[in-house]
Chains A and B, each alone.
Chain A
Amino acid sequence: MMLPKEYKSGVKPIWCPGCGHFAVLNAITKAFAALEQAPENAVLVSGIGCSSRLPAYINSYGFHGVHGRALPVAAGLKVARPDLNVIAMGGDGDGFSIGGNHFLHACRRNVDIVYVVMDNEVYGMTKGQASPTTPEHWEHSKLTPHGPEVRPFQPCAIALASGASFIARGYSGDPNGLAHMLFEAVQHQGFAFIQVLSQCPTFCPEQVGWKKTVHLEDTCTDDPVQAAAFLHGDDGLAKGIFYRRPRPTWPVQHQSTEPVNLRKGFEL
């Protein structure tokens, strides 16, 4: 049995003071402790961005890949090594913009992995550009001086429409609640998606206000129609496990084929 702090690698995070990702890091260590996770059997896979640095800070195996591709790396690893607990993670730009297509297909494919998106509605590492989840009229980026002028992406609704079998939203201001969600997500058989509202005090100081506006919703359902109704009426600041409906995971186990002579088909 390990303590949460024993799951930290000792590498010092590069994050700014007050960054929400510290809380996500702590929540993961708490969830691992609760799961009695053998560190060598967990792999954290990430893309590029502030949040994607997290695997190096955890005492487990990790893979820090290229921008937007955490999900394919994680899926390939899990299909090849089903014995491992594979958790993909990253930010909102990594997951919903450059990696958006993989998000759709990971939800569809339902490989048994967890995907944690630390959503701060901004590209922090490139110094504050708008991301897919940035509010339409957020005017603080030089790249989009009039605001993105595009409706924000709705991660949970899209996850539902794409076939995710576990959908939750957590908040960095509530690491215990997030640790609980992670615990449940790891236990879930299939693709489990957690959007974490993880504040960026540097580029979006207004997110400090989330501690007053984020609200717990106890709406967990296995009915996709009910979940869709809730998510389309959602203000984006509800937290909780919204949807959980196990379905067959990929790869489907086929009846074991007899070992074959690979060469037979070439013989006359």
Chain B
Amino acid sequence: MDTIVGPGRLFIRRAANVTDISQTEREPQNQMTSLTIAMVGSGGAGVVASGEMLLRAAAGMGLYGILRKTFGPQIRGGESAAIVRLGTEVVANLGSELEVLLVLDWNNFQRFADEIPISEATVLIQDLQAGEHPQNLPEPRQTLTLDFLGLAKSLGSSHSNLALLGYVADWLGCPSDIIDSAIRHRLREHSQETIELAITVALGGAQLQQDKPIPLQPILSAPEKTNSIGKRWIANGNQLIGLGALEAGIRFVAAYPITPASDVLEWMAGEIESVGGHLVQAEDELAAVNMTIGAGFGGIPAMTATSGPGMALMSEAMGLAVASETPLVVVDVMRGGPSTGIPTKSEQSDFNLAVYGLHGDAPHVVLSALSVADCHFTAGWATGIATERQTLVVVLSDQFLGQSSQIMPPLANTNFSASAAQQLEGDTEVDGTQRYFRYLDTDSGISPLALPGQPGGMFTADGLEHNAAAVPSPKAADHEQQLAKRLRKLDSLVESEHWAEHSSEQRGQGSMLLICWGSLYQVALEAQDKLREKGIDIVVMGIRLLSPLPLEEIKQAMQQATQTLVIEQNQLGQFAHYLRSFDRQGQDAALPPFHQYCRPGPTLFTPAEIVTQIQALIPDQTATEGSARQ
């Protein structure tokens, strides 16, 4: 069935000989039209590289998209997949469905079959050499078996992934010069010969598509190319953490490699010297965080990046940063846990560690990045807060945000750099004419900060409890004063406009409120769109400032809503428990009751899953609209 396509929209026109058993026609207006393609192979077969090239080619066509790379823990010989979702507007999550699945190798497919949502809407293209089709997979709409490997070999190559790339790019209507340039970019460090052969194989794949097309026809009404080229970025969240941090003034990084945070560090290592900074690969996370604290004490804005196990090792020194009032940014790119867990997959299960993981009474700041692009903003904000308030800021990202590459409009500078520089370039109160009190008990809780090198400001920063003059003290009065000061200096943070993103100005007036944090925010926004099609209005709140929590704002939004659902990607409902804990602070602070939906990774939350959960809470609607497609 053919469908009229509105201007500037990608639409799927289904081939006439294929029975459409999916949902009713999609209306182009007010709806993101998108298409998801997965490429699967064994580790080292190059499907992830093909995914990267396909994303770049799509960007060259003026489309938006996101690429999720999924790996097993092995470097070679395990399973790997690239899932690319393309659309005519910004695509910030992977959606719920899969239109095309291209398989070079079925070996090990079962290990991540859960993450590849094959359905009766999926067209399956498999290589002749792909091996035995696994049992128990949903029956696809149609299956084509093609000889990609044979094609590559006939052209003198073993890279069937490039034939696959050409095949799918041609189906998308990608002009050959664009795929050519995407290949040249990806293989820019390879020999000319390798590049030319790769292009030949991709062109062979494109010809194959002409001969044996995918039985779905995407019509791409891409925007004028001249408007798009050079005005879009391709970046992943890990790189954008690095960019946001450097732009806000981070000039020292010390870290220890860990999946999936290493590429924060690898990106920064390539850039930080050019802005006059240093990156140290430390001997372990204990060294990394303490080096970072040393640099921060010296007045150089500093950060480290790690994942759950690494942050667990860092947690003692994170308490030191709080007690000594040393600025410190710790980025946790969360993965499945505990212990080694599922290191290559995403989860939101380090919330408790980030919020509660410190020893003693150690108030600190915890932020969550709300999208791939928001990694940039949140890293900048974290840097600003850490330097301005002389404290620890933890940034929670996750494997999905960190390692998914997204096509996006260029990001604005966060402008957090000024506060960082001003605070650390010295404090006029430290002039040596009178005794300097490093930990002076001020109204704001923020004390004048002297930096080594400043005459008159000499003090010993201490993890040992101290008095206002920085002299070690076990006295109850000093302990109470310093604890109160360190808590108080975070108070005004909850007034920041950056504390959350909302899908609506009304913040829940008369609608259901969906509260989430981190990478689930973008999924929830799409769920909101889908619900609107069904006549259900909800408001989505993505919380960026997890600690200290702007409780009054949240309470107000909950009170205005008909009901509230909290969702998160961990087993225990860690955030929901945290939110509930504030309910015990007396009647004034009592929160309305709320629902929670939580489950662990590694499978990503989908918009359809959230729609199902919300519809289950609205019985009347579900009766008339039918159940959501999974």
Q: How far is the CB of B240 from chain A (nearest CB, A)?
A: 8
Contact call A257/B274, Cβ cutoff below 8 A: yes
| Contact residues in A for B274 (Cβ distance below 8 Å) | 257-260, 262
Residues of A within 8 A of B (CB): 11, 38-41, 43-45, 53, 55-56, 59-66, 68-69, 71-81, 83-84, 101-102, 104-105, 251, 254, 257-260, 262-263, 265-268
- Among A38, A56, A63, A267, the most chain B Cβ lie within 10 Å of the Cβ of A63
CB within 8 Å for A64 and B463 given contacts A80-B252, A80-B300: yes
Contact call B299/A81, Cβ cutoff below 8 A: yes
A-B contact pairs, 16 of them (CB 8 A): A39-B455, A63-B462, A65-B317, A66-B319, A66-B320, A69-B290, A73-B290, A73-B294, A76-B280, A78-B294, A84-B298, A105-B282, A105-B283, A262-B243, A262-B246, A265-B239
The residue from B271, B452, B472 contacting A41, defined by CB atoms under 8 A apart: B452
Contact call A80/B251, Cβ cutoff below 8 A: yes
B316 at interface by CB-CB < 8 Å: yes
* Majority-rule SS of B interface residues: mixed
The residue from A39, A257, A263, A268 contacting B243, defined by CB atoms under 8 A apart: A263
| Contact residues in B for A265 (Cβ distance below 8 Å) | 239
CA distance A111 to B410 in the complex (A): 39
Contact call A66/B243, Cβ cutoff below 8 A: no
CB within 8 Å for A267 and B283 given contacts A65-B317, A77-B298, A84-B453: no
CB within 8 Å for A39 and B458 given contacts A76-B252, A80-B302: yes
Contact call B458/A40, Cβ cutoff below 8 A: yes
Contact call A83/B453, Cβ cutoff below 8 A: yes
| Contact residues in A for B145 (Cβ distance below 8 Å) | none
Contact call A72/B298, Cβ cutoff below 8 A: no
Contact call B291/A76, Cβ cutoff below 8 A: yes
Those 7 A-B pairs whose CB atoms lie nearest each other, nearest first: A76-B291, A76-B294, A62-B460, A80-B295, A72-B290, A77-B294, A73-B294
| Contact residues in B for A40 (Cβ distance below 8 Å) | 452-458
Interface residues of B in 378-425 (CB under 8 A from A): 410
Closest partner residue, chain A, to B283 (CB atom): A105
CB within 8 Å for A266 and B233 given contacts A40-B454, A74-B294, A76-B291: yes
- Among B243, B287, B454, the most chain A Cβ lie within 10 Å of the Cβ of B287
Contact call B229/A257, Cβ cutoff below 8 A: no
CA distance A74 to B454 in the complex (A): 18
CA distance A71 to B317 in the complex (A): 13
CA distance A185 to B435 in the complex (A): 32
B468-487: CB near A (< 8 Å → 1, else 0) gives: 00011000000000000000
Interface residues of B in 218-248 (CB under 8 A from A): 229-230, 232-235, 239, 243, 246-247
Closest partner residue, chain A, to B456 (CB atom): A40
Interface residues of B in 280-312 (CB under 8 A from A): 280, 282-284, 286-295, 297-300, 302
| Contact residues in B for A268 (Cβ distance below 8 Å) | 56, 59-60, 229-230, 232-234
B461 at interface by CB-CB < 8 Å: yes
Closest partner residue, chain B, to A111 (CB atom): B280
| Contact residues in B for A78 (Cβ distance below 8 Å) | 294
B254 at interface by CB-CB < 8 Å: yes
B278 at interface by CB-CB < 8 Å: yes
The residue from B284, B291, B292, B456 contacting A101, defined by CB atoms under 8 A apart: B284
Q: How far is the CB of B360 from chain A (nearest CB, A)?
A: 12
Contact call B316/A66, Cβ cutoff below 8 A: yes
B106 at interface by CB-CB < 8 Å: no
CA distance A80 to B288 in the complex (A): 13
CA distance A55 to B459 in the complex (A): 9
Closest partner residue, chain A, to B450 (CB atom): A61
CA distance A218 to B345 in the complex (A): 59
Closest partner residue, chain A, to B293 (CB atom): A73
B273 at interface by CB-CB < 8 Å: yes
The residue from B271, B452, B463, B471 contacting A81, defined by CB atoms under 8 A apart: B452
Closest partner residue, chain B, to A41 (CB atom): B453
Contact call A80/B298, Cβ cutoff below 8 A: yes
Residues of B within 8 A of A (CB): 56, 59-60, 229-230, 232-235, 239, 243, 246-247, 251-252, 254, 271, 273-275, 278, 280, 282-284, 286-295, 297-300, 302, 316-317, 319-320, 324, 410, 452-464, 471-472
| Contact residues in B for A75 (Cβ distance below 8 Å) | 280, 287, 291, 294
CA distance A39 to B56 in the complex (A): 56
Q: How far is the CB of A211 from chain B (nearest CB, A)?
A: 31
Contact call A79/B252, Cβ cutoff below 8 A: yes
Q: How far is the CB of A224 from chain B (nearest CB, A)?
A: 22
The residue from A59, A63, A84 contacting B324, defined by CB atoms under 8 A apart: A63
| Contact residues in B for A102 (Cβ distance below 8 Å) | 283, 286-287
Contact call B459/A61, Cβ cutoff below 8 A: yes
Q: How far is the CB of B116 from chain A (nearest CB, A)?
A: 28
Contact call B294/A260, Cβ cutoff below 8 A: no
CB within 8 Å for A63 and B297 given contacts A72-B290, A76-B254, A260-B274: yes
| Contact residues in A for B234 (Cβ distance below 8 Å) | 266, 268
| Contact residues in A for B316 (Cβ distance below 8 Å) | 66
The residue from A39, A251, A266 contacting B278, defined by CB atoms under 8 A apart: A251
User: Can you add 14 more A-B contacts, CB < 8 Å, to A44-B460, A73-B293, A75-B291?
Assistant: A64-B462, A65-B317, A65-B320, A66-B316, A72-B282, A73-B291, A76-B290, A84-B298, A102-B287, A105-B287, A254-B273, A266-B233, A267-B233, A268-B230
Contact call B461/A63, Cβ cutoff below 8 A: yes
Contact call A69/B287, Cβ cutoff below 8 A: yes
The residue from A38, A74, A84, A267 contacting B230, defined by CB atoms under 8 A apart: A267
Closest partner residue, chain B, to A39 (CB atom): B458
Contact call A60/B252, Cβ cutoff below 8 A: no
The residue from A63, A66, A262 contacting B460, defined by CB atoms under 8 A apart: A63
| Contact residues in B for A105 (Cβ distance below 8 Å) | 282-283, 287
CA distance A81 to B424 in the complex (A): 13
| Contact residues in B for A64 (Cβ distance below 8 Å) | 460-464, 472
- Among B60, B288, B462, the most chain A Cβ lie within 10 Å of the Cβ of B462
Contact call A61/B320, Cβ cutoff below 8 A: no
Closest partner residue, chain A, to B232 (CB atom): A268
CA distance A159 to B369 in the complex (A): 43
Contact call A66/B295, Cβ cutoff below 8 A: no
CA distance A79 to B299 in the complex (A): 12
Contact call A76/B293, Cβ cutoff below 8 A: yes
| Contact residues in A for B283 (Cβ distance below 8 Å) | 101-102, 104-105
Q: How far is the CB of A21 from chain B (nearest CB, A)?
A: 15
Contact call A81/B300, Cβ cutoff below 8 A: yes
Closest partner residue, chain A, to B295 (CB atom): A80
CB within 8 Å for A76 and B286 given contacts A11-B471, A61-B458: no
Contact call B295/A56, Cβ cutoff below 8 A: no
Q: How far is the CB of A24 from chain B (nearest CB, A)?
A: 16
CB within 8 Å for A262 and B287 given contacts A73-B297, A267-B410, A268-B60: no
CA distance A55 to B466 in the complex (A): 14
Closest partner residue, chain B, to A10 (CB atom): B471
| Contact residues in A for B59 (Cβ distance below 8 Å) | 268
Contact call A61/B460, Cβ cutoff below 8 A: yes
CA distance A45 to B324 in the complex (A): 13
Q: How far is the CB of B181 from chain A (nearest CB, A)?
A: 9
Contact call B247/A77, Cβ cutoff below 8 A: no
- Among A43, A62, A74, A80, the most chain B Cβ lie within 10 Å of the Cβ of A80
Q: How far is the CB of B604 from chain A (nearest CB, A)?
A: 24
| Contact residues in A for B56 (Cβ distance below 8 Å) | 268
Contact call A65/B293, Cβ cutoff below 8 A: yes
